[in-house]
A and B are shown apart, each in its own frame.
Chain A
Amino acid sequence: MNQFTFTGREKMVLMFFMALGAICLAATYFVEPATMVVMNHGHEETVSTHHMRFWSNFLQNVVFFLGMAFTAMFGYCAFITAYGGWFSGMKRLWEAYALWMGVGLIMMLILIAGVWMHWHHLYHWNAHGVTDINDPHYDEIIAGKAPFLNKYWYTFATLICVGVYVFITMRIRSLSVAEDNGVKGDYSYHNKMRGWMAAFLPWGAFTSAILIWQWMMSVDAHWYSTMYAWNVTASFFVGLLSMTVLMLIYLKSRGYFVYVTENHMHDIGKYLFGFSVFWTYTWFSQYMLIWYSNNGEETIYFLTRRDQYPILFYGNLVLNFALPFLILIRNSSKRKFGTIGLVAAITFFGHWFDMFYLIKPGALINIAGSNDAATALGSVTGYALPGLLELGTFLGFTAMFIYFTFSKLSEAALAPTNDPYIGESVTHHVI
């Protein structure tokens, strides 16, 4: 069973969920009222919602899945560069994930088009007049940031950075597939791959932060934190590991990846545990430093989230720290598919939830026009907590991601039989 077949039944099920997701996403476009009445500076004001619920859902899911695909490539490069032999047996899975970046880039084009055409109001820096000193909406801070926060740079950086990711990913993928048919013992493909991988690592490290600031942090255009990008990247990576656990459990139940055993799962479990802790570490460092020094313009970010959205704020920590930490701390729970599968399901949802927590409060403020006005609105459907439509959208995106992964898996042999480390991988034994 070295060749994956994407069955008709799987296609049907995934198509169903994709359709469901599309319906849910489309529904958010229409169910949200076109205008809202907010209290701004003591008087009532009617503001347009600019279909914010739809666009923020779209941004959240696009970025989450694109980020996971990016960390798949980044992790793959890191493992191979560091001689991680155990990983070879499942590298085809991560290659398939990484290729999703192409799809993610296309989706980003929709958001970019939205920036140019003013379809959405995700980014306040893109609003009319904020950088014009003669305009009543002039915002001095945003005007100062304009050399970075502008539609040209947003477009350019996205295209160049992600474009290079996709290019290198495709190079590596084609070398990896070519290696299968190469001469036995010829490791020149592997060495070429290592070269590309070494190039990807610094490029990815430098540019991913820029993209995360632009795509996500600038939703709260005034606020900034140097830790933000590392925290979000950790979130993506845990999401990816969770997806991998769930996917392997499913694929193994279908009889594939037999040589990926509980020993490999143990290692993925260690990463899942370790990066959940790392995510918490970055979360805590960021939160504690801002809480401690108590600068108004910084604390407002966490104050809003903690007091207005306690379920998001604390739920995030429960899902992404407390539960995985307590369950995975035992070695045996990393080896039992049922237990680790449960944790993976929690953290997969959890980090999607984290994206929601990061984006939505800022999105609501962008509609309302100010923090106070957003606070006065109270719980707004689709912002305070993920509603059914958000969950449906999430399922749709997940189904699409899986559909894509399966179709890429079916394009090459599952076991890279000519990989120099495959022998180590199939006989891998932890402890």
Chain B
Amino acid sequence: MEGHKDVLYGLYNDEDVLMDAITKAQKDHLDIHDVFTPFPVHGLDDVMGLSESRLHIAGFVYGALGTLTAFLFMTWVFTRDWPIIFGGKPYWSVPAFIPITFELTVLFSCVGMVVTYYTVCGMGPGADNPTLDDRITDDKFCLSFNVSNSSKDEIESLKGFLTESGAEETNIKTI
């Protein structure tokens, strides 16, 4: 089980200052805990060196599953289970299956991806993830370090780093 951790964080007023601070922290080999922003900052994942999200692969797999489900099910119904002739069309009338096949592809892919997204982010109805500061969803950009096992000197030097790199405020919070 995950225990509580002490997090030192600095709040910045501008995303450009934050990004420069991250670059600097990486140059100094500081171990960033996480970065929080009020909106998706363009280029932040590159600066942080985050690996590309693989959601699209999941989306493709779900979609393919939807395609197969719809097409094979309709094929089974109309060629094996209960073949009926409609309007002089063959039992296995592929053009008529395409609309529903398409819709289920989209449905499976979207629902699957959204569920996956919330699951991997640890989010969901009523989920109560701790936040560091209420202003992060307003206008503050936050850079944080895990200081649970750090000495007082290390904390001071990190605090110094935050202030020097442009943080307006620094704070420690146990989450």
* Complex contact flag A–B (Cβ < 8 Å): yes
Q: Does B126 contact A (CB under 8 A)?
A: no
1/0 contact string of B52-69 vs chain A (CB within 8 Å):
000010001000000000
For chain A, the count of residues having a C-beta within 8 Å of the partner chain is 9
Q: Does A37 contact B (CB under 8 A)?
A: no
Within the assembled complex, what's the spacing in Å between the Cα atoms of A284 and B98?
9
For chain B, the count of residues having a C-beta within 8 Å of the partner chain is 8
Contacts of A292 in B (CB 8 A): 87, 89, 95-96
Residues of chain A in range 279-302 having any CB-CB distance to chain B below 8 Å:
284, 287-288, 291-292, 294
Q: Does A331 contact B (CB under 8 A)?
A: yes
Contacts of B122 in A (CB 8 A): none
Contacts of B95 in A (CB 8 A): 284, 287-288, 291-292
Contacts of A331 in B (CB 8 A): 56
Residues of chain A in range 289-327 having any CB-CB distance to chain B below 8 Å:
291-292, 294
Q: Does B3 contact A (CB under 8 A)?
A: no
Q: Do the beta carbons of A329 and B60 come within 8 Å of each other?
A: yes
Within the assembled complex, what's the spacing in Å between the Cα atoms of A319 and B60?
21
Within the assembled complex, what's the spacing in Å between the Cα atoms of A288 and B88?
14
**Known contacts A329-B60, A331-B56; A294 and B88 CB within 8 A of each other:** yes
Chain A residue nearest to B95 in the complex (CB): A288
Of the candidates B88, B95, B96, the one having the most CB atoms from chain A within 10 angstroms of its own CB is: B95
Contacts of A294 in B (CB 8 A): 87-88
Within the assembled complex, what's the spacing in Å between the Cα atoms of A294 and B89?
9
Q: Is the interface of A mostly helix, strand, loop or mixed?
A: helix
Contacts of B56 in A (CB 8 A): 330-331
1/0 contact string of B118-135 vs chain A (CB within 8 Å):
000000000000000000
User: Taking the nearest CB of chain B, how far is it from the CB of A123, in angstroms?
Assistant: 30
User: Taking the nearest CB of chain B, how far is it from the CB of A269, in angstroms?
Assistant: 15
Chain B residue nearest to A290 in the complex (CB): B95
Chain B residue nearest to A329 in the complex (CB): B60
User: Taking the nearest CB of chain B, how far is it from the CB of A299, in angstroms?
Assistant: 11
1/0 contact string of A312-350 vs chain B (CB within 8 Å):
000000000000000001110000000000000000000
Of the candidates A288, A330, A331, the one having the most CB atoms from chain B within 10 angstroms of its own CB is: A288
Within the assembled complex, what's the spacing in Å between the Cα atoms of A53 and B156?
85
Within the assembled complex, what's the spacing in Å between the Cα atoms of A331 and B95?
29
Contacts of A329 in B (CB 8 A): 60
Contacts of B88 in A (CB 8 A): 294
Within the assembled complex, what's the spacing in Å between the Cα atoms of A288 and B60?
26
User: Taking the nearest CB of chain A, how far is it from the CB of B59, in angstroms?
Assistant: 10
Within the assembled complex, what's the spacing in Å between the Cα atoms of A291 and B96?
9
Within the assembled complex, what's the spacing in Å between the Cα atoms of A388 and B96?
37
**Known contacts A329-B60, A331-B56; A288 and B98 CB within 8 A of each other:** yes
User: Taking the nearest CB of chain A, how far is it from the CB of B68, in angstroms?
Assistant: 15
Contacts of B98 in A (CB 8 A): 284, 288
Chain B residue nearest to A289 in the complex (CB): B95
User: Taking the nearest CB of chain A, how far is it from the CB of B50, in angstroms?
Assistant: 12
User: 3 shortest A-B CB distances, which residue pairs?
Assistant: A288-B95, A291-B95, A294-B88
* New contact pairs (9) apart from A287-B95, A292-B89, A331-B56, CB-CB < 8 Å: A284-B98, A288-B95, A288-B96, A288-B98, A292-B87, A294-B87, A294-B88, A329-B60, A330-B56
Chosen A-B contacts, 16 in total, with CB atoms closer than 8 Å, are: A284-B95, A284-B98, A287-B95, A288-B95, A288-B96, A288-B98, A291-B95, A292-B87, A292-B89, A292-B95, A292-B96, A294-B87, A294-B88, A329-B60, A330-B56, A331-B56
